[in-house]
Structure 1
Amino acid sequence: MPTLKAAAASTLSLPAENYIYSITASVPGSFAAISSDDSLRVFDANRLDHVLVVSRKTHDGGVTSLRSYPTSNSQLLATGGREGAVKLWDVRTGNTMLQMEMARHNPVLSVACNSETNTIVAGSELVSSQAIVSFWDIRNPQAPSLQYVESHNDDITELQYHPSLSNVLLSGSTDGLVNIYDTTVTDEDEALIQVINHGSVHHAGFLSDRTIFALSHDEHFSVHPATDPDEPGQGPEPVHFGDVREPLDCEYVAQLCIGSQGPYIAAGNKMKRSLDLVPLVPNPAWQFDKDNVWHLPGAHGEDVIRSVYLDEQSQSVFTGGEDGYVRIWKLGDDGDAQAQAGTAKTSRKDKKQKDRFKPY
């Protein structure tokens, strides 16, 4: 069971009583983070003290989501906010390149990007009995190019494009549904390829071209085969793990991470001040590989970890949490790792906590 040690930690110069929402890749060798102070910051992957504040006030009402807009040099970032806007940022200049408005100004809770089709898509909070999946062509961003308004009846917490099919989009919602769409179809009913009923969706996405996962806000986890409309017939049965807190000895699941060796469940335990990356393996059926768990002792002390990023280029794991820190973890000998255990105590004990189960 490999153990990682905390190699570096930084608050990214955040004001006191703030914490990290999400981390994603930015320009080569750097990462971006959004935080509870509504800022967008980019930091060096090797020197956490090298921080560029792209915007101190990313969105009116609060920033909720962050995604990289993949280009040849990955210098664009997309954010969503509670005022009902999606913004595309140029990291080089720190300026907003584009701003797109959600219909009825529904707060944006989730964002996905597809540079192959020049598309940014946003999922909204439920307002006046309507939750919207809205698409924009960034070459003509004045109005949505497509909207789905009937597929969900509660907050849309997750959006993700298929890993190899640029026309296939996944959405997840607190209404309990994970939907798969063919976005070349404008009729909403006909666009739906597959519907999975899982429970209030915290995270969902593609494990592979043919496999979907879903994680609920009460830590229930499942794996489902993706429907292939060109190959009708009975596929593999879904695997329902149920509540994974007891089998993974955790209090919460931060997210699912996918590396070149496969997917990992990031399972946190505040009481034990630990984070484990538990491999999820498909043979003979989907199961947790508890013999090859990666341990991050100390984690973020007694605070929840909000975001985990596996960076295989630097062979590091980046974590961001409610203690207000970004931490870098690297492989070390057991002695070094054990010395780190218990040292990741928060220095911000008086900060205000926010409910992690509330979609943000």
Structure 2
Amino acid sequence: MHTLTATAASSLSLPAENYIYTIAPSAPGRFAAISSDDSLRIFDAANLDRVSVISRKTHGAGVTSLRSYAAGESQLLATGGREGKVKLWDARAGTAVAEMETPRNAPVLSVACNPETNTIAAGTELVSSQAVVAFWDIRSPQALRLQYVESHNDDITEVSKLFPMEYQIPNPWPKIIRTNLTRTDGLVNVYDTTITDEDEALVQVINHGSVHHAGFLSERTIYALSHDELFSVHPATDPDDPAQDPEPVHFDDVREPLGCEYVVQLCVGAQGPYLAAGNKIEKRLDLIPLVSRPAWQFDQENLWRLPGAHGDEVVRSVYLDEQSQSVFTCGEDGFVRAWRPADAGDDDAQAQAGSAKTSRPKDKKQKDRFKPY
């Protein structure tokens, strides 16, 4: 086991009693955060207290999702909101440069971006018996490019990356998108988005149950995590080989074997994926490597522990920053925290991290490099 020490913490100047939902990269050395006060803020990785507010009312009815839309030198961010809009923000100018509306103004719960194809996709709440996966070309944001409305019968909690699969012919429009659904449906669906007919576009269905997060570990491998912490890994099917029936790997409920109370998300770094698992009673967060050889398993001997985490509050989002060799977390205590490897003999630093409170701690510098990559 390895240890990370909290080196800095900031409330991002949020009003008291607010959560920070999600953090995402905005530009090299800068990050964006959305919060329960409906704000969109940018902070500096080297100084968390260096904060700029892009919008105090990002969506009015409430912001739900945040994704980076990194296109060349532009600093664009995509957000989704409960009023049924997806907005594209210029972080440098501090303004929304495009707005897209969902059918029937269905609240947006999840967003995905692919700047290479000028694509934004969103998953919505169930409205009038329909949950929609909607696609736009940002060059024509007023026109809905494509939508699927029949594959899910409850809220769509996440939309994954958009990319072509190895076995498919390259196409200007992204070929495959994965969406997943929570509650009664519990499905992870894979679509061929070059096909408008929804029945024909649906190339794979995974029934996982009450999906919290799902996504691609690689172009050929999909993971799924449920709200009751069931985890599984599934090979992607080849739509050109209908006889193929790949066997999934089911880990079942990971809370007891991993010694955690909840799972935040799965993070993918340069050296592979890590499951971010939290324990409020013990006030810690673990980054546990998920390895595929000799078989899919969790490498608990090489986990990275964040003692103290966000105290007895839930961690909501984790980002592995390879540029600064740091980990950034945010949570329901209303703080963003930065973490780096602890010195072997720095007991004071580890003790401070282990007793983290919701007060505003002073920044503490570390010189080690973060090396889980």
TM-score range, shorter chain: over 0.9
Aligned to 1:357: none
Once the two structures are aligned, what percentage of the paired residues are identical? 73
TM-score (norm 1): 0.94
Cα distance in 2 for residues equivalent to 1:249 and 1:344: 20
User: Are 1:68 and 1:74, in contact at CA under 8 Å, matched by a contact in 2?
Assistant: no
TM-score (norm 2): 0.91
Cα distance in 1 for residues equivalent to 2:80 and 2:189: 21
Task: Give the aligned residue type for 1:313.
Answer: Q
Structure 1 unaligned blocks of 5 or more: 349-360
Deviation at 1:230, TM superposition (A): 3.6
Cα distance in 2 for residues equivalent to 1:162 and 1:205: 10
Structure 2 unaligned blocks of 5 or more: 166-173, 361-373
Cα distance in 2 for residues equivalent to 1:283 and 1:237: 16
User: Are 1:172 and 1:178, in contact at CA under 8 Å, matched by a contact in 2?
Assistant: yes
Pairing of 1:1-360 with structure 2 (within 5 A) = 1-162=1-162, 165=165, 166-174=174-182, 175-234=185-244, 236-336=246-346, 338-347=350-359
Deviation at 1:340, TM superposition (A): 2.8
1:203-237 Cα distance to aligned partner (Å, 9 max, x none): 00000111000000111000000112245544641
Aligned length: 348
Q: CA RMSD in A?
A: 1.3
Cα distance in 2 for residues equivalent to 1:292 and 1:163: 31
User: Are 1:323 and 1:347, in contact at CA under 8 Å, matched by a contact in 2?
Assistant: no
User: Are 1:163 and 1:208, in contact at CA under 8 Å, matched by a contact in 2?
Assistant: no
Task: Give the aligned residue type for 1:118.
Answer: N
Question: In 2 relative to 1, CA 311–245 (structure 1 residues): closer, same or farther, beyond 3 Å?
Answer: same
SS of the aligned residue for 1:73 comes to: coil
Deviation at 1:164, TM superposition (A): 5.2
User: Are 1:222 and 1:238, in contact at CA under 8 Å, matched by a contact in 2?
Assistant: yes
Cα distance in 2 for residues equivalent to 1:272 and 1:190: 49
Cα distance in 1 for residues equivalent to 2:247 and 2:356: 41
Cα distance in 2 for residues equivalent to 1:162 and 1:227: 16
Of stretches 18-27 and 334-343 in structure 1, the one that deviates more from structure 2 is 334-343
SS of the aligned residue for 1:339 comes to: helix
